Amino acid sequence: MPSITVNVDDNLKERMERHPEINWSEVTRQAIQEKIETLEMMDELTSESELTERDVQEIADTINERGRKRVEEESA
C-alpha cells in the first residue's frame, strides 16, 4: 500500500499525542476517502452542467450573502 506524508503544526501534533489510542493514519485515510467520494459525487452531478465556473461562483456568492444576512437577522 502506498504511503503519503501529512504535515501538521507543532500544536496539532501535541494535541494528537494526547490521544495515543487513536490511529491517526486511519483517521486521515478515512477523511481523504470521504472527501474523494464527495468530489466524485459532485463531478457526477455536474458532468452535464452548462454552468460556467463564473456562474457557479455567482450562485455561491449569492448563497453566502443570503446566509450572512440570515445570521445577522437572527442575531439581532
Take residue 31 and report the three cell numbers written for it: 477523511
Q: For position 34, what pLDDT does the model report?
A: 95
pTM: 0.62
Domain locations in the chain as residue ranges: 10-75
At 19, which amino acid appears? H
Q: How confident is the model at residue 76 (pLDDT cuts 50, 70, 90)?
A: confident
In tens, the pLDDT along 45-64 reads 888 888 888 998 999 999 99
- Per-residue model confidence as pLDDT tens digits over 8-42: 999 999 999 999 999 999 999 999 999 999 999 98
C-alpha grid cell, residue 67: 446566509
